């Protein structure tokens, strides 16, 4: 599965305003690293990050594990709000 699509699926399952979710992939200067930018509605930030960042870290872990199975690249996920 495409890492951006996987990230988008996971994030949309967690938030209330699914139409406001935007997930994009960007190139980085670091070798073998992919940056994924996640934008969500301001009201969904707490729901996506979770208590102590546990939910956001779980999403990062799942996407990173998928990356290791596919092309062995390091994943960085930035979460921000509109």
pLDDT digits (tens, 9 = 90+) for 21-42: 999 999 899 989 999 999 999 9
**Residues 64 and 75 sit within 8 Å (Cβ to Cβ):** yes
Helices 54-70, 3-14: crossing angle, 10 deg rounding: 160
- Is residue 17 very low, low, confident or very high in pLDDT (cuts 50, 70, 90)? very high
pLDDT digits (tens, 9 = 90+) for 43-75: 999 999 999 999 999 999 999 999 999 988 999
Separation between Cα atoms, residue 4 and residue 14, nearest integer Å: 16
Query: What pTM does this model have?
Result: 0.93
pLDDT of residue 82: 86
Separation between Cα atoms, residue 74 and residue 41, nearest integer Å: 26
Map tokens 């092309």 to a residue: 71
Identify the CA nearest to 39 among candidates 53, 59, 18. Answer: 18
In this structure, which topology does domain 3-81 adopt according to CATH?
GMP Synthetase; Chain A, domain 3 (3.30.300)
Q: Where are the domains of the chain?
A: 3-81
Checking if the pLDDT of 1 tops 70, the result is no
């Amino acid at each position: 599965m495409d890492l951006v699509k996987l990230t988008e699926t996971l994030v949309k399952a967690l938030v209330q305003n699914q139409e406001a979710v935007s997930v994009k992939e960007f190139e980085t200067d670091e070798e073998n690293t992919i940056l994924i930018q996640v934008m969500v509605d301001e009201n969904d930030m707490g729901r996506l990050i979770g208590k102590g960042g546990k939910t956001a870290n779980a999403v990062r872990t799942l996407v990173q594990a998928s990356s290791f199975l596919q092309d062995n690249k390091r994943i960085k996920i930035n979460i921000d709000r509109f």
